[in-house]
Every structure is written in C-alpha cells, then in structure tokens.
Amino acid sequence: MAATINDVARVAGVSISTVSYALSGKRPIGEKTRQRIESAILELQYQPNAGARALAGRRTYILAVTEPLRPDTYTPAHMAFVLAAATAARAYDYDVLLLTQDEATGGLHRVTSSRLVDGVIVLDVLAEDERAELVRSLDVPAALVGIPADTDGLVCVDLDFEAAARLAVDRLADGGHRVVGLLGHPPSVYARGSNFPLRFREAFVTHAAERDLEVRLGAPERTIAGVREAVAEILGPDRDLTGLVMHCEDTIQMRTLDVLCAAGLRVPQDVSVISAASTFDTSTFAPPLDVIPLIPAESCSRAVELTIAQITGTVEPRVELIPPTYVDRGSTAPRRP
C-alpha cells in the first residue's frame, strides 16, 4: 500500500542507496538527481518506514520520558516538564515515549533493552530514585532533570535551587528586612524525598543565618484553613515578619495572598513577597509577584541535548546547574522603619 524506497528509486530512475543518501544527506547528490528524487517522494507521498529505519540504522529517533506522576504530585508543574521535554525532543527530530508510574523501572528496562528508544529523560527525580540506579546500570544515553543523592556516573540538569534560595534571601536582606519567612510545600512533599524542596529550604535557612536574618518556616496543607494557619504562624504574634518567600504550588500562593489581604497586610508596603522556583505565571496574581522562575523548557532542552549528544558520541558525567534569575514585578520594597 504505502510507497517504499524502492518505489521512489524506480520513479526517480536511481538506486535505492542514492535515495537513502539523498534523504540523510550523508553524501553529496547531483542536482538533477536530487530534483528527480524530490519530486518522486512528493508524488508518492513517501515516508520512510520507521521499523526498517530502526533496524538498519540502529536508531529509532524516540526518547523515553519517565514521569512517575505519583499521588500527591503537583500535576501542572510536572506536566509542564513532560511537555517541555516533548517539545525539545521534536526540535531534534525525536519523538517521545511516555513512561508512567508502575513502569518506572520495568518499563525503562523494557524499552531500552528492546531498543525501542535511543535514550531516556528522567523527570521528577527523588533523592533516592531507583530510576537513577537503573539508568546507571543500563548504561544507556540518559539525562536526569533533578539531582539524586548519588550522581556518580550520571548526567544531571537542574535549576540551581540553592542559588535561587540565596538570591531570594539577598533580595530581602538587602532591602533591610530582618525577619523573613519561607512558605514551602505541604509536609508530605518533604517526607517523600523530593530533593529540590529540601535543597531550597536548607540553602534558605543557611544563607539567612549568614545574613543575620531571623527565619520562620511554614509547610501549609493546600486547604484554605491550612494556609491561613501557616501564614498566621509565620507572621508571628506581633506580625513582625516583613519578608516572605513562597516555594510552593500556585494554589497555595494564591491563597496566601488572599489571606494577607484579608489580614489587612499590603504587598509590598507591609510585606515583601517573592515567588521562588515557580513554573507558573505570577504576573496575573493580585498583586503580581516578583519571581525567580523555574523554566521547564530550559532544563528539558538541555537534558534532551545532552542525551542526544550521548547517542551520537560521548558525554562526561556531570551535574549542570542552571543559574537562577530574578524578575522584578514590584512585590518587594525596602523595609519601612
């Protein structure tokens, strides 16, 4: 039914190897020849057979993307990464095979050893992640978006969460704030061993100490009551807190702003607020928030790049940290006496 390379060769009056080389560009083709091949391809609507190409070329042009999507996972952010990975892959003419939960390791094993995929992108990496182990032992082209506890032999890419935390602290300290708070993820997220919330929190505490700030930590549940409670606690009985950093889901951030507003606290006049390592758009919040963005496209396209580099050559194991940037939207101000 579908046209094959033989059909194209016949119609163009050349050999199939010439057609193949014309397609891959791996050797020079005469001008008239290339024209004849091109029109034959158009005429026949030829599309190379993926299976044959994979078998002969030892390359499927498919990348596995594993994203466990665990319960309690914050879907929009994780999906943003899946999407970014897919988009980045397409930019290199790769397709993406989606591997989810139950398949975390079994599926990875299956698709790599059957050569269904040329490489692997690992998303939502835990500090202790069996997928990291597997990738290491499988010795397959791969990149992790996130940093496991043991990075030995692995290629990892991530936002520099420690630097992001320091950036937020410095912004507040430089503004003269003395008492600052961190509103983090729900407790279960820290318990699960997701590594970046911990990395952020530790760096936050450490650097705040270095800058001589008093630090208060909150880990609110998603409910309105949970947020209200955490905010009240972090503000303190005297409401002496004047700097607030939020490293959590958009729902919690929006609710926090609701709560501050209801409490009669103005941003930034009474409290300076920074949204840290956020994947969502804080410019539509009321008020718009200063943000240190976490850009999925950035880490994912680098991860794809490094994976493909491994497919076509060699890449030294490494941990690449992406430097954070600060976007000012007027939600911070110097502390008022």
54 near a second copy, judged by CB under 8 A? yes
Tokens 């840290």, located at residue: 276
Alpha-carbon distance 215 to 217, whole Å?
7
Looking at residue 287, its amino acid is: P
Would you put residue 192 in left (φ > 0), alpha (ψ -120 to 50) or beta? alpha
CA distance 263 to 246: 18
Of residues 6, 17, 24, 95, which one binds a second copy by CB under 8 A? 95
In this complex, which beta carbon is closest to a second copy, that of residue 175 or of residue 287?
287
Q: Residue 188: which of DNA, a second copy, none does it interact with, CB under 5 to 8 A by kind?
A: none
Gap between the Cα atoms of 90 and 74, Å rounded: 25
Give, rounded to a whole angstrom, the gap between the first and last alpha carbons of the chain. 80
CB of 105 to DNA, least distance (A): 22
Out of 76, 187, 317, 330, the residue judged to bind a second copy by CB under 8 A? 76
Selection from a second copy, DNA, none that 108 binds (CB < 5 to 8 A by kind) is none
Name the binder of 242 from DNA, a second copy, none, CB < 5-8 A by kind: none
The beta strand positions in the chain, using DSSP E, are 62-66, 95-99, 119-122, 142-145, 155-159, 179-183, 214-218, 243-246, 272-278, 290-293, 318-322
Residue 274 forms beta bridges with which residues?
245, 290
Q: Return the number of the residue (17 or 101) whose C-beta is nearest DNA.
A: 17
Residue 89 corresponds to which tokens in the numbers above? 């892959």
Rounded least distance, CB 20 to a second copy, Å? 15
Binding residue (CB under 8 A) for a second copy from 35, 47, 188, 269: 47
What is the binding site for DNA (CB under 7 A)? 2, 4-6, 13-18, 20-21, 23-24, 26-30, 32-34, 46, 48-49, 52-53, 55-58
Nearer to DNA, 44 or 77 (CB): 44
Residues 6+ apart with CB under 8 A from 281: none
Q: Could you say which of 26, 31, 75, 316 contacts a second copy (CB under 8 A)?
A: 75
Residue 156 to residue 213: CA distance in whole angstroms: 32
Return the one option of a second copy, DNA, none that residue 96 interacts with (CB less than 5 to 8 A, by type). Answer: a second copy
Over the Cα atoms of the chain, what is R_g?
Answer: 25
Task: Classify residue 196 as left (phi > 0), alpha (psi -120 to 50) or beta.
Answer: alpha
What are the φ and ψ backbone dihedral angles of 287, each rounded to 5 degrees? -80, 165
Cβ–Cβ under 8 Å, residues 114 and 326: no
Site for a second copy in 209-238 (CB under 8 A): 223-225
Q: Between residues 60 and 301, which has the closer beta carbon with respect to a second copy?
A: 60
Residue window 111-150: x/- pattern of binding to a second copy, with contact defined by CB under 8 A: x-xxxx----------------------------------
Q: Which of 86, 244, 246, 289 binds a second copy (CB under 8 A)?
A: 86
C-beta of 203 vs 308, nearer to a second copy: 308
Q: Is 60 in the site for a second copy (CB under 8 A)?
A: yes
Inter-residue contact 154 to 135 (CB < 8 Å): yes
From a second copy, DNA, none, interface partner of 86 (C-beta below 5 to 8 A by class):
a second copy
Contact footprint for a second copy (CB under 8 A): 2, 45, 47-55, 60, 62, 65, 69, 75-76, 79-80, 82-83, 86-87, 90, 95-98, 100, 102-103, 107, 110-111, 113-116, 223-225, 251, 254, 258, 286
